[in-house]
Amino acid sequence: MRLGSCVSGLMVVALGLLTNIASAADVKQLAAALSTGSPAERQAAADALADQGYTAQEAVPQLVGALASSDPELRWRAARALGVIGSPQALPALRKLTDDADALVRAQAIFALGRLKAADEDSLKAIIARLTDKESQVRRACVRALAMIKADRKVTVPLVVKLLEDSDPQVAMRALSAIAEGGAESIPALNAALAHPEARYWACLALSEMGPQAKDAVEGLKKHALSDERPQVRLQAAIALAEIGPAAQPAVLDLIKLLGDKFESVRNAAVFALGRIGDKTAADAIAKVDKPTDLYLHMLSTWALARMNPGDKQRLKDAVEQLASRLGDKDRDAAHMAARAIAELEPPADVIRPAMEKVMAGADAETADRILTAYASLGARILPLAIDALKDPAATRRERALRILAKVGPEAAPAVPELIGIIQGNDAKQKTEALFVVGAIGPAASAAVPAAVAGDRIQFEATDPAHDLRISKTVDGARGYRVDPATVDL
């Protein structure tokens, strides 16, 4: 038995040696193919070397040489292979490639630097500089690379701060979006950025995009941003806390102080944040600052107080009625704000229906259209209410919901099953309205096509030039459905 075990062990060792010899031979052949083969063979060789991983160290010089190829396909494959193989010899060439004209090459070079844990200042500068790249895939590569490197924030934060200081707002926003995509991993860096006056505003914007996952930034927002001397920073800090939501409760007292801010926009943002957080301890303070003569503040206060008292059905009913009365406002921002406030209160059908009936009852055609447009501006958020209205036995409610959905457009795709039911029904007017909604939704409404072209001899046509969609049915039974560039013959 012992002899058999020894033989087996020797066989395993021998097979391992043979495998290594074979791999070494393969690496040499593949390394040679990087410069002698056809373009397709060179690309395949780079991919094969990446598959070899660390054992392909011998091919690093040839892969580094391939980074200078005129073929972008070979450049990004070589960059990826170098990152997988893990040789620090490639760092200078990879840093140079972060400025490549091809976005995929830049992204792979940056990701390779991340794999190589390139924590030196030159590499970090090269990665951070691309946080403002115009291509999203490059920005994502930067965020992932920085996460892999886990560099000292004492080094990275000043670099990010300088980048934001030197960038125009649109470019800075690209960097912030990339940082926000990093999720919770980005919070420590953003907390550090909050301590820098120059980066504080931008950090607040990034935290606003992250929403509830930015809960660990609440203390930083309290300490540094809510008391900043610049009103725009205080405003963005309040909005960031609003987007964080209930987890921002530790900031309630600081937000209450902002209710007395000398800038109206900051006061309104504080009410918005307190409403989102929903802590009842702020109710009295909000009630004291509420002014019925101040349109925006009054709407925000009404909404916030209703959110703080979710069990008070009468307060909810009154709030929805007040907000619904502003849906037809000529001030589009005010109308949209009222619609959003209603949606965030999530009123049940027995509350929203009477309120909508009341505002629509005395509305002329122009006002009614403004009301529907304001509601439709919520997009996907209004779908549950609109779809519920499609099931209502009252024809006026269904027609109103159809008009809203037509304005919502492609986001109204979840309403397709209900639209099919209406198209298959007997109401010619509603059929036509439903077909216009299908046209506005576009290709995502293709499930409605069989119903649209079926059976009866009603003439209708629904078009949506914005999505190049046309559905038609004529009295002689001809039928067609067109979604360019493809055509479906039904």
Q: Judge if the upstream peptide bond of residue 485 is cis by omega within 30 degrees of 0.
A: yes
Under the banding of pLDDT at 50, 70 and 90, the label for residue 404 is: confident
B/e letters for 113-125, b = 16+ CB within 10 Å, e = fewer, are bbbbebebeebbb
pLDDT of residue 488: 28
Buried b (16+ CB within 10 A) or exposed e, 256-288: bebbebeeeebbbbbbbbbbbbbbeebbebbee
Return the pLDDT at 224: 94
Q: Judge contact between 24 and 16, C-beta under 8 A.
A: no
- CA atoms within a 13 Å half-sphere pointing along the CA-CB vector of 313: 4
Averaged pLDDT of the chain: 80
Band (462; pLDDT cuts 50, 70, 90): very low
Q: Residue 250's closest CA among 285, 226, 222, 224? A: 222
3-state secondary structure at position 362: coil
| 160 phi-psi bin (left φ>0, alpha ψ -120 to 50, beta other) | alpha
Helix/strand/coil for 258: helix
* pLDDT (tens digit per residue) in 232-273: 999 999 999 999 999 999 999 999 999 999 999 999 999 999
How high is the pLDDT of residue 485? Answer: 32
With vertex at residue 166, the alpha carbon angle to CA 161 and CA 168, rounded to the nearest 5 degrees, is 115
At which residue do the structure tokens 């012992």 appear? 2
Whole-prediction pTM:
0.59
Q: Which of 157, 156, 168 is nearest to 132 (CA)?
A: 168
Spatial strand order in the sheet of 460-464: 460-464, 469-473, 479-483, 486-488
For the record, the structure tokens of 459 come out as: 């003439």
Instruction: Return d(Cα 78, Cα 112) in angstroms, integer.
Output: 10
